[in-house]
Amino acid sequence: MDELQRTDPEVYRLIKQEESYQIESVRLIPSENYVSKAVLEATGSVLANKYSEGYAGRRYYEGQRYIDQIETLVADRAKSLFGAEHANVQPYSGSPANLAVYFALLKPGEGLMGLALPHGGHLSHGWSVSISSNFWRPIHYTVGRESHLIDYEAVRQLARAERPKMIVTGATAYPRQFDFKLFSEIAREVGAYLLADISHIAGLIVAGVHPDPVPYADVVMTTTHKTLRGPRGAMILCRKELAAQIDKAVFPGLQGGPHNHTTAAIGVALKEAATPEFKEYGRQVVNNAKALADELLARGFQLVSGGTDNHLIVVDLTNKAVIGKKAAQALDRAGIVCNHNTIPYDPRKPFSPSGIRLGTPAVTSRGMKEHEMRQIGAWLDTVITHVNDETVIGRVAGEVREFSRQFPAPGLVA
């Protein structure tokens, strides 16, 4: 970044500081990861110079001969990797992609049914502070008070009572697998579309360690970062009979020209995800999450649903008498990055909840395995136990820096 350093040393300095932070910290935020050098290069390419409203072969601008080839290649890779009939690779991010799906298939005021945000769902699945609740009638299913698991019979009864036009399956903080086949049966029974938001678990599905929604869902939406290890973007996969509606909703319905540099980078990530090495990566993500969960359970921590089947863990800190936000801030000072998170039926407010959320995609990308998860669990325990002791937190921070430098971060130079 020599030219950036000469042109804007202030921005250069901040980027380099963030780079060091990503190298020297243990990143446990489930929605974060490390992209490869190839993905970074595609993201920072001359494709940022292009404007390409429309779709391949149907653009509103000339000069698209190479852009059309890139977008077609990326869409074909997406269809091949996920076994989908149609792929739209233009959405800017996950929330706009979900809005495009709703816009394509729902009329204003029709029922939109998703997992409640405090129970692990996502804002864009019809939660009250999201625009998705203003245009469509929000309906929310929940997890059990004791099990913290989705009660599929309760979902069925709610769907029968409310008759939603769309049911969304997917989450941002649900540590168990989804039964897409059963969700599909419920949706068919009430005449609803099924949207599977697999933003968090796309890489696990590719690796074969999570059930696949494509045979059951009408539409599948995924972001392209998180476990898929691509740039910040999104894709919509759907049955061919819905393709025209989905495409029209993305453009011109909600977006202008696609971000071609991001599209190309998505294509690189999809090619990487089609390798045997990626499948092994996905399996290790789940193994690491289970190992970290087991270590925390052994140290007396309470975990939502009692553990994990995927890449993330939600920790209830009530029995530790530590507020989630305070724990997350102390862990950050110790070089362990996570986020405070609500737990199901949380008596505290969302900005200062009872829990924290942990995930293993980024640490697995650095080559860490079960042994390292046990060490991370020990540090989590130490910091949370000594949350008010800056001497202990500082000691752990030094240990974490030394530890992290033993595991090269993909795409970055240590």
Token pair, residue 99, equals: 């809005």
Q: C-alpha dihedral over 216, 54, 226, 46, to 10 degrees?
A: 150
223 is known as an active-site residue = yes
- Of 53, 76, 212, 332, which is the active-site residue? 53
Note the helical H segments in 45-168.
65-82, 94-105, 132-135, 152-162
Active-site residue identified among 197, 295, 309, 346: 197
Which amino acid is present at 393?
Answer: I
Burial class of residue 339, CB neighbours in 10 A (0-12, 13-18, 19+)? buried
In the annotation, is 405 catalytic? no
Question: Could you confirm whether 51 is annotated as catalytic?
Answer: yes
Q: Respond yes or no: is residue 197 known to be catalytic.
A: yes
**DSSP label at 143?**
B
> Which of 142, 172, 222, 223 is labelled catalytic?
223
Q: Catalytic site residue 374?
A: no
Closest CA to 374 of 296, 306, 305, 285: 296
Question: Nearest CA to 139 among 128, 147, 149, 131?
Answer: 128
Pairing of strands 234-238, 302-303: unpaired
The one catalytic residue among 156, 232, 279, 401 = 232
Instruction: Count other C-beta atoms under 10 Å from residue 191's C-beta.
Output: 10
Active-site option among 24, 32, 51, 370: 51
188 an active-site residue?
Answer: no
Helix axes 180-190, 152-162, angle to 10 degrees: 20
Question: Which residues are catalytically annotated?
Answer: 51, 53, 197, 223, 226, 232
